[in-house]
A and B are shown apart, each in its own frame.
Chain A
Amino acid sequence: MTRIYQFLLTLYPRKYRELFASEMIQVFQEAAGERRDHGRGAYAGFVLREMLGLMMGAAGAWLGRDPVRPAAPTGVPSCPPEIVEAQRRVDASIAGMVHAIAHHDFQKARFYSIAERKLREKLRRLKELHGISD
């Protein structure tokens, strides 16, 4: 089965294979060993899932499909990029503040808090400029 797996790995871009192929084979072999112990049905399901996963993974690697977030829904009104960026900065500063508080770094938390207020004000002005309500 490992041979078929190795063959399917050749469907991936070369750089991807160089980085992950040997590791993927190792993980596949470990997982296959464990699934074999669960009986034929479990092993067959595992093999099928692995082969399909490789084919879809290879297609995704070539097409540049992003597995981190699902595709944006269609038909949603677009938002000006400067507002998107401003919102992203506000979110990042909040995340920074939360993280700093969680680690009892209150000086840093204060820094993020001040930054967040300024960024939020900038976001408000941008929205006003574009006639966008919250």
Chain B
Amino acid sequence: MRHVVERTNDESRPLTEPVLLILMSLADKPRHGYALLRDIEALSQGRVRLSTGTLYGALRRLLEERWIERFVQEDTSREKQSYRLTMAGRWQLELELDRMRQLTRAGMARLRASEA
């Protein structure tokens, strides 16, 4: 009987922190690049400050995966490219948050068991 330690496909691996934060930032409303940088800093309580190189590297891949869409936001004074989550992106975010929730639950249970 062979035991699989871990699924090794892409889906089973956690998202990188920048990607998770980008998806989280876009979960409530579309944002343009600078707004994403600021919101990610706020979401992470100042811990994560993405460079534009990191941000756009992640955005490019998310566009390729069709987890986000790019569009021109009309209600700004300057024409700005903005990004919004697609349905697929929202599902991926839900999957990742669910994975984290399960891990947190399991970890907390172990901690409580060791304290008992």
Contacts and interface: CB of A to CB of B under 8 A. Distances in A.
Q: Do A and B come from one complex?
A: yes
Band of interface residues on B: 35 or more
A68 B37 contact: no
A45 to B, nearest CB: 9
A72 B53 contact: no
Given A20-B56, A50-B51, A79-B4, A67 B61 contact: yes
Interface in B54-81: 54-62, 65, 80-81
B52 A50 contact: yes
B111 to A, nearest CB: 24
Contact of A70 (B13, B90, B91, B98): B13
Interface in A44-96: 49-50, 52-58, 60-61, 66-70, 72-73, 76-79, 81, 84-85, 87-88, 91-92, 95-96
B60 A20 contact: yes
B27 interface: no
Band of interface residues on A: 35 or more
Contacts of A60: 57
B47 interface: no
A27 B11 contact: no
Main secondary structure of the interface of A (DSSP, over half): helix
A119 interface: no
Contacts of B94: 95, 98-99
26 contacts: A26-B34, A27-B33, A28-B52, A57-B53, A57-B54, A58-B53, A61-B60, A67-B19, A68-B16, A68-B62, A69-B16, A70-B14, A73-B6, A76-B5, A78-B8, A79-B4, A84-B8, A88-B9, A95-B92, A95-B94, A95-B95, A96-B91, A99-B91, A130-B2, A131-B1, A132-B2
